[in-house]
Amino acid sequence: MSRVVAVHSFRGGTGKSNTTANVAVMAARRGLRVGVVDTDIQSPGIHVLFGIDQATIGRTLNDHLWGRCAITEAAVDVTAGLDPTLEGRVFLVPSSIDAGDIARVMHDGYDVALLHEGIRTLVDELRLDLLLLDTHPGLNEETLLSIAVSDTVVVVLRPDQQDYEGTSVTVSVARRLQVPHMLLVVNKTPAVFDHADVEERVRAAYDCEVAAVLPHSDDLMAYSSQGVFSLSRPDHPVAAMYDALAARIVG
Amino acid sequence: MSDPPAQLIVVDDDPINRRLLASYLEREGHAVATANDGRAGWELVRSRPFDVVLLDVLMPEMDGYQVLERIRGDEDLRHLPVIMISSVEDMQSVVRCIELGADDYLPKPFNPVLLRARIAAGLSRKRLHDLEREYLEQVEHVVTAASAVEAGTFAPDALDGVAGRDDALGTLARVFSHMAAEVQARERALKRQVQELRIEIDRTRADRQVEEITGTDAFRDLQRRAAELRSR
Ligand SMILES: Nc1ncnc2c1ncn2[C@@H]1O[C@H](COP(=O)(O)OP(=O)(O)O)[C@@H](O)[C@H]1O
Ligand SMILES: [Mg+2]
């Protein structure tokens, strides 16, 4: 059975999009067919990591949610642009970056059933093994919808005081939505921290499995606006961590 | 700034010879102490620091050989320059003194030019030795400081004395202190950050936020529909 995984964080800039993109690529390297939906309708961005720009964006998630097209029409196969030698595939459903479109979704909202149906359709028609939802930070209605339709929610947090409370709220809310699986990913961990210690403390604080403790990486930060780090630096230790995270998410 | 006078000691049981030697050495600018037999000489040498000892060979109580033997056998005094002065001129005695570790041997009555040269040689030996000892002591300070850094007990001013030197050891001490201070600063920063890892969550406030989000009709509706969609 395929898995729908929402990647979330309470605050923005935590690393959701980079985590999503790297996990997608590592899963595709393992031969999986992977879909990525940018449900961060308010501030879309993951398409940049997949090498898609304004000019090449055609149909979007917005079009589907407004009943203008089938969701599969908005899905772009980005595999060849990423790395033609990937064993699996990566499909992206981008979100519109048109300001008017963004305002309209914000104003009107959309139906959870449509999102859910779109996701099921994608999984079925594209025969996906894994579908990742990149989300908007915080717990607004759109984000709650993405979490509600997922089998797994991955909550990304940074090991600093500002993130702890928001993460705790997120974890509680996701539990009330009865998301079957929940994983925590600690990102941007300063080098001075002992990763095993961080893992144990975070696990204990949220009573939740920690799927990865990723370091703060200057290499990643310097590269990330240009593409998917793990593809450009497959031998980098951080790439190995994304690979392990992908394996853990896929289960 | 002129150097303080050298501290000499004349040990001789012959009062005339003793006074002659002492006054000559004082005129030469040295500070001179005297002792009138071997035992008194030994006591004095042990009681305070001297730079050169002038030692008669034949004396009552304890002779020059014995005093010399004790000096050479003493941990703190073994490097003290000793010049034997005696009317005993046989080869045997000279050989014995050298074997016991005397630095020089002068016949009585003393020749002022020769005496001056030997005192000067003794003093420079002593000064070299003092420098070497001080150097080793300061090297020891640096080594101790290294252990202190390892044990986390290094005091930032521990090497101030050594760091004042204008030689390579001084440079080593300055660089070392500087690096140790940096290591300490980094460790302090690390401790601060490790404390940041303590995860403190205000549960009451978090619970209130959860209530605000989940307490609405919209959320209950979402909950219900999500459950419904999942069960399909
Ligand atoms: N492990 C990391 N180390 C260093 N920088 C990171 C790491 N993960 C993400 N970043 C940087 O943080 C910024 C935000 O990342 P992004 O993935 O866009 O976060 P989000 O989607 O949560 O807003 C980007 O500039 C990215 O390069
Ligand atoms: Mg993002």
A2 pLDDT more than 60: no
pLDDT tens digits in sequence order for chain B, 232 residues long: 467 899 999 999 999 999 999 999 999 999 999 999 999 999 999 999 999 999 999 898 899 999 999 999 999 999 999 999 887 677 888 889 989 999 988 888 888 898 999 999 999 999 999 899 899 999 999 999 989 888 888 888 888 889 888 899 999 999 999 998 888 888 888 777 665 678 888 999 999 999 999 999 999 998 998 888 877 7
Q: Which own/partner pairs from B181-185 qualify as long-range (CB within 8 Å, at least 24 positions apart)? A: B181/B156, B183/B149, B184/B154, B184/B156
Asked if omega into A234 is within 30° of 0 (cis), the reply is: no
Bridge-based pairing of strands A89-93 and A76-77 is antiparallel
| Predicted confidence (pLDDT) per residue in A209-219, tens digit | 999 999 999 99
Mean pLDDT of chain A: 93
Domain that holds residue A178: 3-250
Q: Give the confidence band of A1 by pLDDT, cuts at 50, 70, 90.
A: very low
Alpha-carbon distances, residue A146 vs A83, B214, B231 (angstroms): 28, 15, 17
Task: Give the pLDDT mean for A206-231.
Answer: 93
CATH number of the structural domain spanning residue A131? 3.40.50.300
- Using alpha carbons, select from A80, A5, A67, A69 the residue that is nearest to residue A37: A5
Nearest ligand to the CA of A10 is 1
Test site for ligand 1: of A217, A221, A229, most ligand atoms within 8 A of the Cβ: A221
A31 pLDDT more than 50: yes
CA distance B144 to B148: 6
Query: How many folded domains does chain A comprise?
Result: 1
State whether residue B11 is helix, strand or coil: strand
Q: How far is the CA of A78 from the centre of ligand 1 (A)?
A: 21
Beta bridge partners of B8: B32, B52
Task: Give the pLDDT mean for A131-155.
Answer: 92
User: Amino acid identity, residue B5?
Assistant: P
Nearest ligand to the CA of A8 is 1
CA distance A35 to A45: 16
- B191 touching chain A per CB within 8 A: no
- Using alpha carbons, select from A122, A102, A242, A225 the residue that is nearest to residue A185: A242
DSSP codes of every residue in chain A: --EEEEEE-SSTTSSHHHHHHHHHHHHHHTT-EEEEEE---SS--HHHHTT--GGG--S-HHHHHTTSS-HHHH-EE-HHHH-TT-SSEEEEE-----HHHHHHHHHH---HHHHHHHHHHHHHHTT-SEEEEE--SS--HHHHHHHHT-SEEEEEE-SSHHHHHHHHHHHHHHHHTT-SEEEEEEEEE-TTS-HHHHHHHHHHHHTS-EEEEEEP-HHHHHHTTTS-HHHH-TTSHHHHHHHHHHHHHH-
* Whether the CB of A9 sits within 6 Å of ligand 1: yes
Q: Which residues of B touch A148 (CB under 8 A)?
A: 222-223, 225-226, 229
Nearest ligand to the CA of A156 is 1
Are residues A145 and B222, on separate chains, in Cβ contact within 8 Å? yes
Which residues of A fall below an 8 Å CB-CB distance to B?
112-113, 116, 139, 141, 144-145, 148-149, 159-161, 164-165, 168-169, 172-173, 176-178, 190, 192-193, 197-198, 201-202, 205
Higher per-residue pLDDT: A125 or B189: A125
Predicted pLDDT at B193: 66
CA distance A212 to A230: 15
Q: Which residues contact B60 (CB under 8 A, 6 or more apart)?
A: B13, B37, B38
For chain A, report the end-to-end CA distance as a whole number of angstroms.
11
Compute the Cα dihedral for B18, B21, B24, B30 and give only its sign: negative
Residue with the smallest CA separation from ligand 1 atom 27 is A221
Query: How long a stretch of residues is chain A?
Result: 251
Residue with the smallest CA separation from ligand 1 atom 11 is A221
**Structure tokens that stand for A209 in this block:** 């499995």
Q: Which residues contact A80 (CB under 8 A, 6 or more apart)?
A: none
Predicted pLDDT at A92: 97
Are residues B197 and A145, on separate chains, in Cβ contact within 8 Å? no
| Predicted confidence (pLDDT) per residue in A41-59, tens digit | 989 999 999 999 878 889 9
> Could you report the predicted ipTM of this complex, rounded to two decimals?
0.87
Compute the Cα dihedral for B60, B65, B67, B70 and give only its sign: negative
